[in-house]
Amino acid sequence: MSHAHTSSSPPHIVVVGGGAGGLELATRLGRSLGRKNKARITLIDANMTHIWKPLLHEVAAGSLNSTEDELNYVAQAKWNHFHFQLGRMCGLDRERREIQLEPIADEQGSELIPSRCISYDYLVIAVGSTTNDFNTPGANAHCLFLDTRTQAERFHRRLLNQYMKAHARGVDMTPEKINLAIIGAGATGVELAAELHHAARLLSTYGMEGINPEDLNIHLIEASERVLPALPERISEPVSKILKDLGVRVITGSPVAEITADALILKNGQSIPASLKVWAAGIRGPGFLAELGLSTNRIQQIHVHRTLQSVDDPRIFAFGDCAACPMDDSENSPMVPPRAQAAHQQASLMFKNFKRLLADKPLQAFEYRDYGSLISLSSFSAVGNLMGNLTGNVMLEGKLARMFYVSLYRLHQMALYGVSRTILLMLSDQIGRSTEPRLKLH
């Protein structure tokens, strides 16, 4: 399976997608192979900055100011010996070993950078996933999604607009209810519900009269029988209880049949009024993956071997949410779940495997280790289980779980910035927290 690179110039490794996994990989490859000129590393992303995807629900609720937690790709590339190119991949020519990038337009729609091709010796596709609305009638037209920072910020503006409208009615009027529905009670849906309830409490402490926290009606709708269906039941039970205590209306066992401008219609015929609707159920690979000539599954993930090489081409790798990677070598092996910890572990394996590849050693197979799951319920609580050789399987709740949840983000920062800069970032976060409003009010 290995392909030693023979020409005199160092091999060009192109990483498409600057999400958590792709950015970690490009950073680590740059620091080792790029710095020693053993390979040329290029990272391609459609945005200029990176924000950790598990934080998007906090951006949506306004409890995280996205400009403070973002990372600039150009600066990261300069510090870590790799190159950055702004662009969105749209095509692949495996014969010529080139990828095609879409033209880039400015806000007025005129072309800034024409469509262009970038050649590679090894290609890594790490473009993550987008939300899967399962072609539900009305979902695309009436729902907001939380796949990108732009979408999260759009949701935040709409939420604030609803508040301003209610606030303008003043104290004497009957308060206007804001009806909000979240479809999908996986990690994103659950965390968003708690974060929004937290935001509602904060807004009322900032003197937003005319609307009380209880005037924000949050419905959380899940097609399966319980919240967090992908996680163990002993996590979903306490989470469900905390959400109900917060006043979130949890509706399980009822898929959404249709979405209209101001309501959701469930399969059982029930109608739920909602002026703001967020679709947070299901994932699929970005649409262009199905058009590259590589084999994909029904949700557009690229089929890869356990070495993370595409089943069609050993020079092309894919990992994270956009890849369908088997857990073991059996015929009906389950797939690695689309989770941040899987992408992080795969980025580490890819880093080792590129070093092996250039030293002409065989590649290692990916072995997923589930270290448990942590669900953050805003400032109210966190619930999760940690699994590992040292801990066995431990249930965590409350402050301790919250601490571990935050530490996942710190580990991601350490992979990108190194230890000393992460410690400085932690200190500046602490100082900033004491001087800023706890909620982004614009």
With contact defined as beta carbons under 8 Å apart, do 297 and 326 qualify?
no
Q: Give the residues of the chain that fall short of pLDDT 70.
A: 1-7, 66, 68, 167, 169-176, 206-211, 379-406, 430-442
Q: What's the whole-number average pLDDT of the chain? A: 86
Q: 314-357 pLDDT, tens per residue?
A: 999 999 999 999 999 999 999 999 988 899 999 999 999 999 99
All domains in the chain, ordered by first residue: 12-131+284-358 (3.50.50.60), 139-279 (3.50.50.60), 372-435 (no CATH)
The CA-CA-CA angle for residues 159, 281, 438, to 5°, reads 35
* Residue appearing with tokens 């350490």: 414
Q: 398-411 pLDDT, tens per residue?
A: 666 666 666 777 77
- The set of residues, in sequence order, having a beta carbon less than 8 Å from that of 307 and lying 6+ positions away, is 1, 353, 363, 364, 365, 366
3-class secondary-structure state, position 82: coil
DSSP 270-334: -EEE-SEEEE---EE--GGGGGSSS-B-TT-PEEB-TTSBBSS-TTEEE-GGGEE-BSSSSTTPP
pLDDT value for 272: 95
pLDDT value for 88: 96
pLDDT value for 442: 41
The amino acid that residue 96 corresponds to is R
With contact defined as beta carbons under 8 Å apart, do 394 and 386 qualify?
yes
CB atoms closer than 10 angstroms to residue 198: 22
pLDDT value for 415: 83
Distance CA 168, CA 176 (A): 10
Distance CA 395, CA 228 (A): 15
pLDDT value for 327: 96
